[in-house]
Amino acid sequence: MGLDPPYLADRQHQLERFVRFLDGFPEFPRNVRVTGLRGVGKTVLLQRYAAVAEEAGWVVVRRELGENLQHESAFGLALVDDCRQAVERVSRRAAIGRKASAAARAAFDQLGGISVSLLSVGIGISVRTPSAAVAPRPVLDDQLFAAIKATCRAASEAGRRGVLLCYDEAHALRDSRFERRFPLSGLLAAVARAQLDRMPVMLVVCGLPPLTENLALAKSYSERMFQAEVLDALTPPEDINALIQPLVASQRAFEPELGELVRADTKGFPFQVQFFGALLWDSLPASVPIRCAHFNALRPAILEALDHAFFDARLARSSRTERQLLGAIAADGEETSVRTVLMRFSGNRNLVNRLVARLIAKGLVYRPERNRLAFSVPMFGEYLRRKDLVGSGESRGSSA
């Protein structure tokens, strides 16, 4: 859920780089792409980025993206409204006066369908139907650029250093050439244009691994536009520190070997470490030291609880035939080759392609590299094997 942990493990290097990126504006604009599997701490890091930026004098615009913003108009309205709220905040706090408010009003009002009015407390917004006399509605790129420009101008008038756009679950925002929808292309084009005009705006997108491919398909220059932060399992000794440092800080007694036992089951993935630690903490009175014998006795119950809390609901989103494909991957571990999956599906490439596309859209699998498939949920293959849900995966049917 992105709740801030009592000890943020193994993310200091990312935070230090982010501070340098902020300091480089506007001469050296940077954008950041944060990707990783479920539960590796992407949202927590994004929240730390936002806090660091606010402390450094930046205006932060934040939103969690979703399928409901696939339409260009819906995404455009969402970004404009986020920018409007940001302008309103800095306007109230700094009392920037008529000049900046008028500039914001002019920029927002040109976005067809948006009516902006100056209020005593800031800037109001409402939806209106443009009259025939109004100029044609600008394309999405121009709409988003105008909103970003207005927000940067208001931030500058208020003495703020810049505007940070933070988007979580950004893998959900993707272009669709078949449906002629290009919300992601519009966002990238608007930010790139603003940065070329030396506006102090930074874009941070955070999501599952398919986000990288979505960006590359949207704009060919996206690889040069973003600094990549790929989050994975915690590296030693931080994988153990994530468990024991909160215990030490709260003066909870424990056996030193406990960290190694938890590491073996969690593989250092942050959510799993937190989950094991929380259940160990809650299962014993605070006055009782947590011993390895307690862990061994509680381990089956903890694994069952982890299955119910983290894995079961994700598996429930899949159809019977999709589960066969998931099992075909899990038979080899946490990832396998497309060729292997095809063999287990009797060479039915059309069926496999459809299933893979649906499972990627559901956030269950991704392509780590060409002709490879992997789970987007860490240790999902181990879960499927533990539940005896791994079979041959063979399916001769033509539909799913």
**What are the pLDDT digits (tens) for 217-233?**
999 999 999 999 999 99
Query: What pLDDT, on a 0 to 100 scale, did the predictor assign at position 309?
Result: 92
Once rounded to an integer, what is the mean pLDDT over residues 22-42?
94
In a domain, 5, yes or no: no
Once rounded to an integer, what is the mean pLDDT over residues 206-219?
96
In a domain, 71, yes or no: yes
Identify residue 71 by its one-letter amino acid code: H
Q: What contacts 179, CB < 8 A, 6 or more positions away?
A: none
CA distances in angstroms from 214 to 39, 175, 182, 189, 220, listed in the order given: 21, 8, 11, 14, 11
Residues 339, 302 share a domain: no
Residues 204, 160 share a domain: yes
Residues 69, 31 share a domain: yes
> Which of the pair, 10 or 67, is modelled with greater confidence?
10
Query: What pLDDT, on a 0 to 100 scale, did the predictor assign at position 93?
Result: 62
Residue 197: which CATH number?
A: 3.40.50.300
Residues 119, 213 share a domain: yes
Residues 62, 19 share a domain: yes
311 pLDDT more than 50: yes
Residue 379: which CATH number?
A: 1.10.10.10
> 89-98, 205-214, 390-399: which range is least confident on average?
390-399
Query: What pLDDT, on a 0 to 100 scale, did the predictor assign at position 137?
Result: 53
Residues 67, 153 share a domain: yes
Residues 179, 34 share a domain: yes
Q: What contacts 240, CB < 8 A, 6 or more positions away?
A: 259, 260, 262, 263
Once rounded to an integer, what is the mean pLDDT over residues 192-216?
96
Residues 251, 145 share a domain: no
Query: By residue range, what is the domain housing residue 93?
Result: 12-231
Residues 195, 167 share a domain: yes
Measured in whole angstroms, how far is the alpha carbon of residue 295 from the centre of its chain?
33
Is 243 within 8 Å of 295 (Cβ atoms)? Answer: no
Give start and end residues of each alpha helix (H) in the chain.
12-23, 42-55, 72-94, 98-109, 140-157, 183-196, 210-218, 222-225, 238-249, 258-266, 270-283, 292-306, 312-316, 320-330, 338-344, 349-361, 380-386
In a domain, 400, yes or no: no
Boundary of a domain, candidates 207, 231, 255:
231
Average pLDDT, the chain: 87
Helix axes 270-283, 238-249, angle to 10 degrees: 30
Boundary of a domain, candidates 171, 201, 231:
231
In a domain, 124, yes or no: yes
Residues 243, 222 share a domain: no
Q: Report DSSP letters for 281-295, one per residue.
A: HHHS-TTS-B-HHHH
129: exposed, middle or buried (Cβ count in 10 Å: 0-12, 13-18, 19+): exposed
Distance, first Cα to last Cα, the chain:
32
Boundary of a domain, candidates 202, 231, 260:
231
Measured in whole angstroms, how far is the alpha carbon of residue 88 from the centre of its chain?
26
Residues 243, 201 share a domain: no
> 11-15, 177-181, 249-253: which range is least confident on average?
177-181
Q: Could you report the per-residue pLDDT of 257-309, keeping only the tens digit for each?
A: 999 999 999 999 999 999 999 999 999 999 999 999 999 999 999 999 999 99
Residues 179, 36 share a domain: yes
Q: Could you report the per-residue pLDDT of 65-122, keeping only the tens digit for each?
A: 998 998 898 998 899 889 888 887 777 665 555 555 555 555 455 444 454 443 444 4
CA distances in angstroms from 29 to 163, 212, 240, 283, listed in the order given: 12, 20, 36, 49
In a domain, 218, yes or no: yes
In a domain, 392, yes or no: no
Grouping H, G, I as helix, E, B as strand and the rest as coil, residue 345 is coil
Identify residue 334 by its one-letter amino acid code: E
Domain total of the chain: 3
